[in-house]
Amino acid sequence: MTLDSLEDHIFRKKDGQGCSTLHPHVTVTEDENGLQYLEIDNPLATAKIALQGGHVMQWQPKTEKQPVLWLSDHARYVKGRSIRGGVPICWPWFGAHPTDSTLCPHGFARVIPWQLVDVDATDTGATRIVLQMIETPEAKRQLSYSYVLTMMVTIGKRLKIDLATTNKSDHPFLIGEAFHTYLNVSDVGNIRVTGLQDCLYADKLRQYRRYVEHNVLKFDGEFDRVYLDHNSDCLIHDPVYNRVVRVGKSGSDTTVVWSPGAEKAHAMGDMGDADEWRKTVCVETANALENSVVISPNRTHTMSVEYSVEAL
Ligand SMILES: O=P(O)(O)OC[C@H]1O[C@H](O)[C@H](O)[C@@H](O)[C@@H]1O
């Protein structure tokens, strides 16, 4: 289905509540602020995606009692602001802009509208959704190169996200990027993260100084590390939810692990009251710092992540 025919489909089938059915497993909804969402309910899982930011907000396999992604009760749903939780897309830079501190940290892709390009079902019954970022004047102001940014989200027993950057300019360019994923955990104090031992990391809490990780990760306060040259799986062990969440990836050489700690979480305003921040840890599939990617003209670089759940 082309974008035009999808949009015709959305608008023709709209019902009185601003809902429309796009595909047997996908409903389009709109909130009072004009933000649009895709709500997916197939035999394998449920999910919700905001078209602003191409933001996967929720995903829960039907076999799971608990959502796999965390979404803040205090998330803000307004135009031009990123939603706290789910999978924000950081692009075309990660963290602060390298030369212009007036530009938004983590880039603009997470606050720009994306459009739906295609939706279909896979042989296993998963729903596959293709989105493309709209090159709005604001996006153009922040990045003047020509490019196409496309995301394919496959929602089933596993959640797979592929982010493809195609260089349409006549010169190479450099990008940083991340799936800034907030995983839902029973309590950050209960969990262990494995898969990063022996990795070099930059500690953002110590002026990016470099260390080697010797340990399984545990959390008892603010934690903000950028693991470099890391391209294998991470496992989040949660003995209370009785599960392990596996984060598998390709086209990514950086993993960022972040937990804000109480003080920072309370100052943020959209992380929730009291101890809501303790219910999440970010394990981010990324290309950052020296792992940022140079893309040649007419070449496409794809970063992919796949989340799956295993019993403990
Ligand atoms: O508040 P945001 O812009 O979404 O950033 C939230 C966090 O993202 C990353 O994980 C960074 O490593 C942190 O330093 C940052 O605080």
**What's the rounded mean pLDDT across residues 80-100?**
95
Write the pLDDT tens digit of every residue in 70-87.
Answer: 999 999 999 999 999 999
Write the pLDDT tens digit of every residue in 113-151.
Answer: 999 999 999 999 999 999 999 999 999 999 999 999 999
Counting from 1 in the atom list of ligand 1, the atom nearest the Cα of 88 is 4
Strand partners, 158: none
Q: What is the pLDDT of residue 180?
A: 98
Write the pLDDT tens digit of every residue in 186-209.
Answer: 999 999 999 999 999 999 999 999
Token duo for residue 199? 């990795």
Q: What is the pLDDT of residue 98?
A: 84
Token duo for residue 218? 């545990």
Percentage of the chain exceeding pLDDT 70: 93
* Identity at 98, one-letter amino acid code: P
* CA 56 to the chain's CA centroid: 6
**What's the rounded mean pLDDT across residues 41-48?**
98
What are the residues whose beta carbons fall under 8 Å from the beta carbon of 98, sequence distance 6 or more? none
Using CA atoms of 182, 183, 184, 190 in order, give the dihedral in degrees to the nearest 10: -120
Which of 258, 281, 282, 283 is the best mutation target for the ligand 1 pocket, counting ligand atoms within 8 Å of the beta carbon and taking the most? 258
CA dist 188 and 190 (Å) reads 5
**Cα of 257 from ligand 1 centre, angstroms:** 10
Answer yes or no: are the C-beta atoms of 114 and 87 closer than 8 Å. no
Q: Give the least confident one: 66-75, 95-104, 188-197, 229-238.
A: 95-104
Token duo for residue 46? 């449920």
Counting from 1 in the atom list of ligand 1, the atom nearest the Cα of 82 is 4
**Cα of 155 from ligand 1 centre, angstroms:** 26
Residue 302's nearest CA partner among 117, 148, 181, 94 is 148
CA dist 165 and 143 (Å) reads 13
Q: Whose CA is nearest to atom 7 of ligand 1?
A: 258
Rg (CA), the chain: 19
Task: Mark residue 30 as left, alpha or beta (left: phi above 0; alpha: psi -120 to 50; beta: remaining).
Answer: beta
* Identity at 169, one-letter amino acid code: S
Q: What is the pLDDT of residue 122?
A: 96
Write the pLDDT tens digit of every residue in 282-311.
Answer: 999 999 999 999 999 999 999 999 999 999
**Cα of 224 from ligand 1 centre, angstroms:** 8
Write the pLDDT tens digit of every residue in 264-273.
Answer: 999 999 998 8
Q: Whose CA is nearest to atom 16 of ligand 1?
A: 260
Answer yes or no: are the C-beta atoms of 30 and 37 closer than 8 Å. yes
* Identity at 97, one-letter amino acid code: H
Residue 204's nearest CA partner among 264, 256, 277 is 256
- Residue 284 bears catalytic tag: yes
Query: Does residue 13 have a pLDDT over 50?
Result: no
Residue 114's nearest CA partner among 39, 163, 164, 52 is 52
Answer yes or no: are the C-beta atoms of 187 and 279 closer than 8 Å. yes
List of E strands, 230-299: 234-238, 243-250, 254-259, 280-287, 293-295
Q: What is the pLDDT of residue 19?
A: 64
CA dist 230 and 228 (Å) reads 5
CA dist 161 and 130 (Å) reads 10
Domain hosting residue 207, numbered range:
3-311
So what's the ipTM on this one? 0.96
Mean per-residue pLDDT of the chain: 93
120: CATH: 2.70.98.10
Number of domains in the chain: 1
Q: What is the pLDDT of residue 311?
A: 93
Q: What is the pLDDT of residue 243?
A: 98
Query: Does residue 8 have a pLDDT over 70?
Result: no
Q: Which residue has the higher pLDDT, 238 or 23?
A: 238
CA dist 302 and 151 (Å) reads 9
Token duo for residue 270? 């959209």
Query: Does residue 253 have a pLDDT over 80?
Result: yes
Which residues lie with the beta carbon below 6 Å from any ligand 1 atom?
Answer: 82, 105-106, 180, 204, 224, 256, 258, 282, 284
**Cα of 76 from ligand 1 centre, angstroms:** 16
- Residue 180 bears catalytic tag: yes
Residue 36's nearest CA partner among 81, 77, 84, 94 is 77
Burial 90-111 (b: 16+ CB within 10 A, else e): bbbbbbebeeeeebeebbbbbb
Query: Does residue 5 have a pLDDT over 70?
Result: no
